[in-house]
Structure 1
């Protein structure tokens, strides 16, 4: 056998070193990615690859920044932000939250199944972009860290995507290469039976085991559990009018406390008291619980007059409204004042929607919340423009906690959904590549104001961008230097005389290896010809080996660089490289064993 070229040896060493640094996690992933690109650029520049049709060193190293995969990922991030900031997914989230509140386990199971089924017919990436904001929203409201749910959801979508030929572009690539090499064309559901049986085996792991292997970055986050005392003022159209306090408490459930109704300055706590027009309802709960309860009984968090005053201030400073939390410092001018006497709305155009007193018992005997004196450490739940929030921090000695959330521009929710649906439809029907569809959709989002151009940076992640570019560069280096081909040839030579079942498993493991360290496109391009050639040499059917490659290309769970959806969840879930290895590697091994057994059983090998 011909030994690997010096370029191939260098590419394999660089790949191993990059994986080592990615896996250890001691150096920031964006630094490793940039160093990887620099090493490839310098190495191939001074030691160029000389064969017909090869890329230059600069094309290999920097081509990832203009690659369609990176364009697609960035565009899909913008589309996802458009769905979030317009509140387009809020109705779906409210329906699912009921199931999650009833049972978190059943809620996660239902979400995993639905994600997998959708990805059978729609490309994996749009399905993840559609479901990721919902999962984050659900996780916060149900009190479960997003890091516990995003990776299982991503894996369920990837497993569903390998069940049909149209599930992923990689499936189509493998099928097309196999057809070019003389195999019959696979139908849409040609291998669905095998994939679904494997999915049934993987589902318990995704549902019950994987969440326990993942970090809980937000499980103890005080911001998710901080409880605010708020006043809700029913309008004439509110469903709270005519209900007793007992009925309101039943609607609120166990998580939100309804203290009572305020009538002429006095707090009415009798469970049989009937809420009347002109009353105010005092509640205590997290910000999301208060919002959900207000929506359920049709009470806006802010009165119409308050909203009009805020709009007037927003016109003056030109800022969008956000919700935020302000903590009162030791030198704050608000200490000892009440919300009313501080005149925060009149002076800054900021509405206070709730107050958190860290050291007070829940609902002590007192008059209405507005009359409570503010103390050091109290937290105000407010809504206002960014310029106004900056002014109050300077003027009143308060500090804004991280995590300010933009108020959804609900007037554009339908438009954002329509734009996203158009992108999904174009990509699902393969009318245009997903990169073109997503880029067009993101441009329309910006043009229509669903996403504002000056907020574009919040949708994009620099870490994700350099990681994608580095992974594309590494994949190109392995292909152009002949390293991937040499590995495949070595594998074919070593499997001479082995049982067909072992060959199937080894072929799948080989494709999986390339997928997780290079790209699924590289795995398909290199693995499919090897599978057909190997089947001829070993005198076994080519179809199971080709399917082994196809399935292996989809087993991209063990590294963030394996597939673009892995990278999409990285920032949102707060994952590190080692999290993918710890939670994804067992799933890879489980799927290789399961799919290999099913292929051997299906084809009688």
Structure 2
């Protein structure tokens, strides 16, 4: 006879359900729900402490998530991801995927899913996803697949790949080690890979085709992205254009760039090519083609001052007002570079918009007029001085240029951290913290810009989920669920018992933690196998598989939380896409276990 759960266990289950319902309804922000959950646990345990504990122990449990190694690891990983973005280290990979996505969007996504899956089989899936997130953010900025439609499918592929080997996730290692302690023979790296490959093959069409259609587009169309700027790209000695015809490089031109009146024959240094494009496209063209959109001496001076002052170079847009001294002047006669140390790399006339026929001035430089929008490059303080002195209206959306001189260094730091964590040389928490410290020390990420790399909603959500997982375990709720499950399996067939164990572990892993599900479930599965006279291995594998099916909530796994901010996801996005995927994987994995072990 199974006794009722303790009052603390009942309260833990009620808090879990309430948190899930609040997230699913979406009426309150993630931060508010997470902080309320922590507050309820803290107040409840203070007045009604767990057995053999003091009221202050409950406070420590409720707030333990803020100092937990998992939260520190996630923050460190986000900082390293920020370092890759601000240095432009991933731009080559992003350009390669961009060319693939331009050929065919579905083909590009399928290739990305397969690469993610197979990498996660041999490298821990968390570093793999950390490496891929900034790439897909860059693709979204280039106007291709929105990050919101790509990151949940990519995350699902990394989780499926990590499931396929004993070293793919820390959960797999934990289950296998507990099973060995219980007397089972040790499993090799690819022991259950065929079963997972079969299930993943069944689930892949859903992840590839259906899942992106279930997710919204989080891209925000801004006004400045629709403006067309005119500039003249100067061919330099180191430019890719030097000694070539423009037609040879058409495939490498950024989206939204168009050249006009290109001189015939090979291009040489000092050639000036009339070019139009959006704000982002002009920046990308300068970087990709290694050309200058302003006189080289001006740009060199800006870069030199940036290095001396350790200040990032920025690009912003400014409108010429009716009081500006620039009205009626040309760029050469304005003296902007000499007076303020900034460079004008593009000019937009109000009538020139994307999709409309461009209107160019005849001959050389045109004269500034009221309403013109200037694309200005320089140090932020110099740009503000320029705007104030010449009566310009500075628009929002100033962007800092990537510090490409540190791109190789940032990539090396990230690669080293991933290698150390993947091969088990140090825990991932230590590898990520060391990587984040190196990002700071080397200047890849600046201390005053750390906040841009972190997400407050993710931080409090992680802290709340850690506290919730602890109360589920410490209150006895997890043990009671396991006991109920064990009693109910007496009446099921072996195949149904496998599916039930997997579903129970899936529930635990999505609302508590992978470690909780693995720690509680593995001994229970072993005991159930003995009681039912079944081989223990398929039931233990059911626990291992279920503990990894963490698709349905953002709190289920650290990579789910990592993508939450970048994809602008809500709780319901995980539920809507994750629940069907869980059902597909449970069905396919159960079938694979039944066939493999002849149950």
TM-score norm. by structure 2 comes to 0.92
Deviation of 1:513 after TM superposition, in Å, equals 0.7
> CA 1:138 to 1:251, structure 2 compared with 1: closer, same or farther past 3 Å?
closer
Distance in structure 2 (CA, Å) of the matches to 1:502 and 1:94: 48
Is structure 2 residue 391 aligned with structure 1 residue 399? Answer: no
> CA 1:319 to 1:254, structure 2 compared with 1: closer, same or farther past 3 Å?
closer
Distance in structure 1 (CA, Å) of the matches to 2:575 and 2:525: 27
- Tell me the alpha carbon deviations over residues 450-502 of structure 1, each in whole angstroms, 9 at most, x when there is no partner: 21112222111221111100000000010010111111211221222211111
Distance in structure 2 (CA, Å) of the matches to 1:507 and 1:368: 77
> CA 1:328 to 1:195, structure 2 compared with 1: closer, same or farther past 3 Å?
farther
Is structure 2 residue 510 aligned with structure 1 residue 516? Answer: yes
- Tell me the alpha carbon deviations over residues 510-540 of structure 1, each in whole angstroms, 9 at most, x when there is no partner: 1111111111111111111221111122222
Distance in structure 1 (CA, Å) of the matches to 2:11 and 2:541: 31
Matched-pair contact (CA < 8 Å) for 1:194–1:595: yes
Distance in structure 2 (CA, Å) of the matches to 1:55 and 1:565: 32
Distance in structure 2 (CA, Å) of the matches to 1:75 and 1:482: 32
Q: Which residue of 2 aligns with 1:414?
A: 408
The one of 360, 364, 369 aligned to 2:359: 364
Distance in structure 1 (CA, Å) of the matches to 2:131 and 2:430: 18
Is structure 2 residue 195 aligned with structure 1 residue 180? Answer: no
Q: Which residue of 1 aligns with 2:218?
A: 217
Distance in structure 2 (CA, Å) of the matches to 1:146 and 1:422: 26
- Tell me the alpha carbon deviations over residues 404-459 of structure 1, each in whole angstroms, 9 at most, x when there is no partner: 43322222222222222221122112122111111112112211222111222211
Is structure 2 residue 144 aligned with structure 1 residue 143? Answer: yes
> CA 1:235 to 1:11, structure 2 compared with 1: closer, same or farther past 3 Å?
same
Deviation of 1:284 after TM superposition, in Å, equals 1.8
Structure 2 gaps of 5+ residues are none
Which is worse superposed, 159-168 or 298-307? Answer: 298-307
Q: Which residue of 2 aligns with 1:98?
A: 99
Distance in structure 2 (CA, Å) of the matches to 1:491 and 1:222: 56
Distance in structure 1 (CA, Å) of the matches to 2:94 and 2:548: 29
Deviation of 1:303 after TM superposition, in Å, equals 3.9
Distance in structure 1 (CA, Å) of the matches to 2:125 and 2:349: 45
The one of 568, 587, 592 aligned to 2:586: 592
Q: Which residue of 2 aligns with 1:264?
A: none
Distance in structure 1 (CA, Å) of the matches to 2:112 and 2:307: 41
Matched-pair contact (CA < 8 Å) for 1:83–1:89: yes
- Tell me the alpha carbon deviations over residues 84-111 of structure 1, each in whole angstroms, 9 at most, x when there is no partner: 2222222222222221222222111111
SS in 1 for 2:394: strand
> CA 1:368 to 1:289, structure 2 compared with 1: closer, same or farther past 3 Å?
farther
Deviation of 1:256 after TM superposition, in Å, equals 2.6
- Tell me the alpha carbon deviations over residues 540-592 of structure 1, each in whole angstroms, 9 at most, x when there is no partner: 22111111111111111111111111111111111111111112222111111
1:202-601 alignment, distance < 5 Å: 202-218=203-219, 220-222=221-223, 224=225, 226-241=227-242, 243-244=244-245, 252=253, 255-261=256-262, 272=264, 275-311=267-303, 314=306, 319-326=311-318, 338-340=330-332, 342-360=334-352, 361-367=356-362, 370-371=365-366, 373-376=368-371, 378-395=372-389, 396-402=391-397, 404-601=398-595
Deviation of 1:321 after TM superposition, in Å, equals 1.2
Matched-pair contact (CA < 8 Å) for 2:254–2:285: no
SS in 1 for 2:261: strand
Is structure 2 residue 59 aligned with structure 1 residue 67? Answer: no
SS in 1 for 2:230: strand
Distance in structure 1 (CA, Å) of the matches to 2:191 and 2:436: 35
TM-score norm. by structure 1 comes to 0.91
Aligned length: 594
- Tell me the alpha carbon deviations over residues 160-197 of structure 1, each in whole angstroms, 9 at most, x when there is no partner: 11111111101111111111112111111111111112
> CA 1:278 to 1:315, structure 2 compared with 1: closer, same or farther past 3 Å?
closer
> CA 1:426 to 1:55, structure 2 compared with 1: closer, same or farther past 3 Å?
farther
Structure 1 gaps of 5+ residues are 262-267
SS in 2 for 1:216: coil
Matched-pair contact (CA < 8 Å) for 1:121–1:166: yes
Deviation of 1:325 after TM superposition, in Å, equals 3.6
> CA 1:188 to 1:416, structure 2 compared with 1: closer, same or farther past 3 Å?
same
